Structure 1
Amino acid sequence: MSSDDEQPEETAAGGPEQLALIRETVRRAKVPKAKPRTWRGAALARELPVARVLVNKGVLHLDQYFDYAVPEELDAEAQPGVRVRVRFGAGAHRVRDGRREGGGLIDGFLIERRADSDYGGALAALAYVVSPERVLDPGMLALTRAVADRYAGSLADVIQLAIPPRNGRAESKPSPEPLPPPPPPEPGSWRRYARGPAFLDALAGGGAPRAVWTALPGPGWPEELARAVAATLASGRGALVVVPDGRRAARVDAALTALLGAGRHAVLTADSGPEKRYREWLAVSRGSVRAVIGTRAAMFAPVRDLGLVAVWDDGDSSHSDERAPFPHVREVLELRAAIDRCAFLLGSTGCTVEAAQLVESGWAAPLTADRDQVRAAAPLVRTVGDQDLARDEAARAARLPSIAWQAVREGLRTGPVLVQVPRRGYAPRLACERCRAPARCRHCSGPLEAPDERDLTCRWCGRGATGWHCSECGGTRLRARIVGARRTAEELGRAFPAVPVRTSGRDHVLDTVPGRPALVVSTPGAEPVAEGGYAAALLLDGWAMLGRPDLRAGEDALRRWMDAAALVRGQRDGGTVVIVAEPTQRPVQALVRWDPAGYARRELAERAELGFPPVSRMASVTGRAEVVAAFVAAAGLPDDVEILGPVPLPVPPPGRPRRPGDPPVGETWERVLLRVPPGSGAALAAALKSAQATRLARGGPDQVRIRIDPLDIG
């Protein structure tokens, strides 16, 4: 083993000392589910006797490879990509009186075999080959290294996200033989899109088109994704589809099975259990299946001859991993498309600002339907604003205006009615009382807050904002509003006593509901699919969605509204959606026009003027105040960096479960935001990674937390 920070004492390459060392290593090693090996001597492998190993240590100052000697008995099994165990730590090389003084066994991956080592001292030997299964191929290594560099993280942390834990029983069973490529599928409902059939033809012909797909409302998107996968398989290549949750993975799984039959794809979700999931993962790694449908962790699935990567609903927060270094599915699949030179498909009923940027930059082409198709598939959307509620005193007390009651009564005549109600607990966002434009800092355009209910402060740079006035209308008064989900199901149940009321939310999520008349009350993201579509839908408490202190509040509200409205029948079939929100708000208007791409383009243009992501790149550094200040000062940041803050992190409310980013109990942390132009993003990540590695190598008791492009920047 070699390291720049360790200089082991020299030991003989062979003889009694080395033999005693090997015997002691074998005696002390304890590897679950692995047979102990008896080493018959100190002979090394004749060819390529050096193994370069990545140890399973996710700290940045150990983000390097270490060299080990390959004993002769491990020569056949010690191949690149296998799991190994090695002696690592203080005293791992020192031997006294035939006994090793220190160093514990640790897991790792064998990266490559070499003829010699750059290290001049004695090399410790591999202790075990845990499994001869080659789970880390060169393509996976290149991808995980690119992701680690992109997010200022360690390679070992990314590999832990990419490769599931080993299951010996699953590994001992053979995978099925691969099936021949299927014939190209018919375009089907892809004919509704102007470039849909051409996109499938390009996939079936071995091409690599890149598209941002704005799907039409209705239940047809799983089948359309399945046809894109089938077209890719027809070219003899593999396909990967990542969706936000297991419910949607099940829908795509059913569509692909109905189209091609069983045995052609694997499903990788957490619901499968560790043994089944690892067995499916091995089938993909061994080339038995060429298609994968899965949730977030499946973004690293080792698909052979990758021809298509697809992500559905990239704005869903489930696509962002909450474990270091916090990669996002969309960006990982963008890297895979570039590394593997394969096709890329980003699909959703809405459109994120990041998706709009891919189109504006020319990296991807839009894949949309014309307006006639949109009007035919979308329901009729009607708005209800504060002025309507003010005129309807009874509706104000019950939170439902007359137009909403009318839509419910008419919808229940022909089918179920969906009622979307936001969860409680959204923090208020300050906005202009007159035009509702978000209150922004004059210096850095960050969101304003009033922690003591008197003075305005920026959440980004911490500066005061005395004398604030609205840049849109000139108003000087602010408002903050939260409306919860109170008693919605009870109110509807009393109003319609003969109609069943079903709920779908965090505690119990429904997958489907029958097409019979019923009231379905759901929180955003938990809406079940109705057989034949909903007859109507109510989108309540719009301010609870738009009032979040988040840069993506409007985009996220529109995405959730459209996901719910897309489950309603088309306007020609009588489908109606009523939204209770201020009609002049841009997300509400985009919903009425059913134009998510237009809203995303306008939002992107405004963010470009203000220097917001994704036009700029940002990183957050959190920790104790003095530690953060010293870290930023010594980080060697790019010259064009803009430092915003520090500002104190909000203290978690009592009773709320702790989250990964929360400070330790009893400590007050601060956060600094670092903003650079997009061309300096790689330099910023490299500087932060180097500074963090230096700090960890010194062994300081206080560390900082780094996150590239955080989702909660306000």
Structure 2
Amino acid sequence: MTGAGSRRGKAQGAPRKSAQRESTRVAASELPVARVAVDVSPPHLDRPFDYLIPERLDAEAVPGCRVRVRFNRRLLDGFLLERVAESDFAGQLSWLERVVSPEPVLSEDLLRLARGVAGRYGGTLGDVLRLAVPPRHARAEGEAPWAPAASPQRPAVQHWSRYQHGTSFLDAVYAGISARAVWQALPGEQWSDRLAEAAATAAAAGRSAVIVVPDHRDVRRLEKACARLVGQHGVVALTAESGPAERYRRWLAVLRGAVRVVVGTRAAMFAPVRDLGLAVVWDDGDELHAYPQAPYPHARDVLTHRAHAAGAALLVGGFARTAEAALLIESGWAREVVAHRQEVRAAAARVTAIGEDDTQLARDPAARAARLPSVAFEAARAALRANTPVLVQVPRRGYMPALACARCRERARCRRCAGPLALPGGTEEGVPKPAACRWCGATEAAFRCPSCGDRRLRAVVIGAGRTAEELGRAFPGVTVRTSGGGEVLESVPSGAALVVSTPGAEPVVEGGYGAALLLDGRALLARPELRASEQALRLWFAAAAMVRPARDGGRVVVMADSALQPVQALVRWDPSWFASLELAEREELGFPPTRRVASVDGSPEAVADMLDSVALPDSGEILGPVPLGEVDDSGNSDRERALLRVARQDGRALADCLYSAQAVRAARKGAEPVRVQLDPLELL
């Protein structure tokens, strides 16, 4: 099971006091050598090491179990990968110290997946296994195993008939065909019910399904939908919210084949299901799908690799479409599952784009008090008269999260740490709270601009808290609810109300919202990131999809220039058009996903040393390095970033050369560490 060309070496021996005890040990009679993946981080140690299996551990030392071994005079954890008759190491082997548990938690399929993910991202097997296999809880292993769930009946698929190739995709899932599709959900679609139907179709055919969604609210919604079709014991949710012990208990149920449908957040992409039939990622553009730990895998890419390797079906779904999903379609690897335009027009709300210039606010005093153009104000008022709630999306939480000098517009900063000043909102003994630093928390009661000397402050952007306060004054007597930050509402009751939410925290309402006001579009589109337009459109589509159809009075007002491509895509409800344009622009500029890019972060010396150690393929080029943050008193940057770019077909070669360079540097004592990430979400 060891990879081709991998080397196996002798681990450091045990301390001298145990030498006499080791001499009395007897090795197992059959296959006495264990190849162990030791839990060590340095890349140059990323290979199996051979150990002798004592006779007393012969029955427990099974491939895939957790073990303890001596390595460099320390007792470390590891996984037993395989047992062989003899080792090719000429010296004396150390002994396997202990079998932590005979449970084979590292299956062959999971090991192959971990190796594939490590190879794609230039990481180590140990890094991936730490993400894929949860920590052990002995009590959960000792409990009686779950009874296998019965196979459900194949559900009806009439809702999928609204989409071109929708029913044929589910027919392929039921037949065990490795169909690949990118699904563009209709506005107002009960996406959790549709995904539950796809998962139940795979389970009815005797195969497993893995569905990965961005956050725990989506997991709860999807778990309920799946339970209605496959039964309460036919689905498990794998999230950190359930706690380490319960999560491990559920993970074991999946490993042992008792459950076929798995839903969860990004960690669920490694769920050890048997006979995978369907892999699903919902809203793949959400940043929560990317792991923040090395080797930084993305759920969409891992599930794509996993479905291809297992011959399973793949479904990438969402209200919007990413450039990566568009590439799957344009390359011919996947087909799109979309509705006819008449279906889209019937399901979508009426969308109006309004510029954010001050002349729009001068027409109506009430609208001016709420910072809303008259069109948005009237849309909200009409929805409230119809006794339906109004969704107000604000890009930032807080009260006034960014301040500037009222005269020269210089950003207001803390005198102590140079952090940004903000107004927290609220009062103390009836007096409004003064501005405070968002970094160190120091208050600034006597601000004075260092550029022009003015003492007045103005808001650069308005947060959700201040917006809710202003809307409450503009619509007296109307309930105002806020959702975002540490207080995210899962749902709100129907009826007249204003729901002020940050992007991604919009609560669900029965029957849909009567209107949605998407404020401060310029703040979303102006973010200095490669994916700013794509992310803004994704967040707008997610909110607009919660609004009732236009035939029922549903309105969406976005405060952004209607000439911009993302705004045009929202007005026309055509995410595929925008994704194709975005993909074409990235191909022209040489950005992901049309090319593979790696970022190398670290001190200037470490980045320079890393770049000297990398042997790029012929299509490779190096951009930078450039400073990442503040500079010291000498004018030097504390950290720098370099980008390495290659043609897409050389992506694996880029991962291999970065892996080799890190291994060489790790073997040298004193080499400063660098952070290497392939296909990072943020390049700027």
Would you say 1:619 and 2:598 are equivalent positions?
yes
In the alignment, which of 170, 178, 181 is matched to residue 208 of structure 1? 178
SS of the counterpart of 1:645?
strand
Closer, same or farther: CA 680–352 of 1 in aligned 2, 3 Å: same
Distance 1:5 1:44 in 2: 19
Could you say which residue in structure 2 is the equivalent of 1:657?
Answer: none
Distance change in 2, residues 1:667/1:383 (3 Å)? closer
Name 2:126's counterpart in structure 1. Answer: 156
- 1:536 matches 2:515: yes
User: Which stretch has the larger CA shift, 171-180 or 407-416?
Assistant: 171-180
Q: Check 1:426–1:678 CA distance in 2 against 1; reply closer, same or farther (3 A cut).
A: farther
What is the rounded CA distance, in whole Å, between the counterparts of 1:650 and 1:157 in structure 2? 28
Deviations 1:375-405 (A, max 9, x none): 1111110111145745736556742111111
Give yes or no for the alignment of 1:699 onto 2:645.
Answer: no
Unaligned runs of 5+ in 1: 23-40, 90-102, 429-480, 654-665
Which of 392, 399, 418 aligns to 1:419? It is 392
The structure-2 alpha-carbon separation of the partners of 1:516 and 1:583, relative to structure 1 and needing over 3 Å to count, comes to same
Match of 1:497 among 465, 472, 476: 476
Measure, in 2, the Cα distance between the counterparts of 1:201 and 1:501. Answer: 46
Out of 381-390 and 554-563, give the one that drifted further: 381-390
Q: For the residues of structure 2 that align with 1:708 and 1:265, how far apart are their CA atoms?
A: 33
Q: Identify the residue that residue 461 of structure 2 maps to in structure 1.
A: 483
C-alpha distance after superposition, 1:292-345 (max 9, x if no partner)? 000010000001000000000000000000001100000000110111110000
1:9 deviates by 8.5
SS of the residue 2:376 aligns to: helix
Instruction: Check 1:693–1:235 CA distance in 2 against 1; reply closer, same or farther (3 A cut).
Output: same
Q: Which residue of 2 aligns with 1:250?
A: 220
Supply the distance in 1 between the matched residues of 2:671 and 2:660 (Cα, whole angstroms): 18
Deviation for aligned residue 1:624: 1.2
1:141, 1:320 → 2: CA distance?
21
**Equivalent residue of 1:577, what SS?**
strand
The equivalent residue for 2:263 is 293
The residue that corresponds to 1:42 in the other structure is 25
Q: Partner of 1:66 in structure 2?
A: 49
Give the gaps of 5 or more residues in structure 2. 1-5, 404-458
- SS in structure 1 at match of 2:513: coil
**Equivalent position of 2:553 in the other structure:** 574
Separation in 1, partners of 2:48, 2:622:
34
8 Å Cα contact 1:269-1:294 kept in structure 2: yes
Q: Post-superposition shift, 1:482?
A: 5.9
CA distance in 1, matches of 2:118, 2:37: 14
The one-letter amino acid paired with 2:389 is P
Taking a change above 3 Å as real, the CA distance of residues 681 and 4 of structure 1, as seen in their structure-2 partners, is: same
CA-to-partner distance for each residue in 1:426-459, whole Å, 9 max, x for gaps?
A: 999xxxxxxxxxxxxxxxxxxxxxxxxxxxxxxx
- The CA distance in 2 between the partners of 1:161 and 1:293, in whole Å, is 17
Map of 1:643 onto structure 2: 622
Give the 3-state SS of the residue equivalent to 2:210 in structure 1. Answer: strand
Moved more, 103-112 or 251-260: 251-260
Question: One-letter code of the match for 2:502?
Answer: T
TM norm structure 2: 0.87
Q: How many residues align?
A: 615
Counterpart of 2:429 in structure 1 is: none
**3-state SS of the aligned residue for 1:226?**
helix
Task: Give the deviation of 1:216 after TM superposition.
Answer: 0.7
Match of 2:191 among 213, 221, 225: 221
**Structure 1 residue 558 and structure 2 residue 541: aligned?**
no
CA distance in 1, matches of 2:40, 2:362: 63
SS in structure 2 of the partner of residue 127 of structure 1: strand
- SS at the partner of 1:381? strand
User: Residue 182 of structure 1: CA displacement?
Assistant: 1.6
Counterpart position of 2:167: 197
Report the residue type matching 1:56 in the other structure.
D
Q: 1:402 aligns with which of 360, 366, 374?
A: 374
Q: What is the TM-score normalised by the length of structure 1?
A: 0.83
Map of 1:102-181 to 2, 5 A cutoff? 103-181=73-151
CA RMSD of aligned residues (A): 2.4
C-alpha change, 1:283 and 1:568, in structure 2 (3 Å) is same
- Distance, in Å, in 2 between the alignment partners of 1:77 and 1:175 is 19
* Matched ranges for 1:94-109 at <5 A: 103-109=73-79
Q: CA deviation at 1:192?
A: 1.2
Note the alpha carbon deviations across 1:507-552, whole angstroms, 9 max, x for none.
2000000011110000000000011110111000000100000111
Deviations 1:1-21 (A, max 9, x none): x97786968999xxx985424
SS where residue 233 of structure 2 aligns?
A: coil
Deviations 1:633-679 (A, max 9, x none): 121122221111110002499xxxxxxxxxxxx97111111111101
Name the residue aligned to 2:450: none
1:214–1:348 Cα contact (<8 Å) kept: yes
1:323 counterpart residue number: 293
Deviations along 1:347-402, one digit per CA (max 9) or x if unpaired, are 00000010000000011000000011111111110111145745736556742111
Deviates further, 565-574 or 537-546: 565-574
Change (3 A) 1:10 1:185: closer
1:549 to 2:528 alignment: yes
Shifted more, 177-186 versus 703-712: the winner is 177-186
Distance change (3 Å), C-alpha of 1:143 and 1:7: closer
Q: Deviations over 1:677-713 (max 9, x none)?
A: 1011111111111011111111224121111111111
Moved more, 341-350 or 177-186: 177-186
Instruction: Give the 3 Å change call, closer, same or farther, for CA 104–404 of structure 1 in structure 2.
Output: same
- Which whole-Å CA distance do the structure 2 matches of 1:616 and 1:217 have between them? 32
Relative distance call for 1:418 and 1:546 in structure 2 (3 A) is same
Task: Kindly provide the amino acid, as one letter, of the partner of residue 361 in structure 1.
Answer: S
The 1:10/1:605 distance shift into structure 2, 3 A limit, reads closer
Shift of 1:199: 1.3
Counterpart among 38, 42, 65 of residue 55 in structure 1: 38
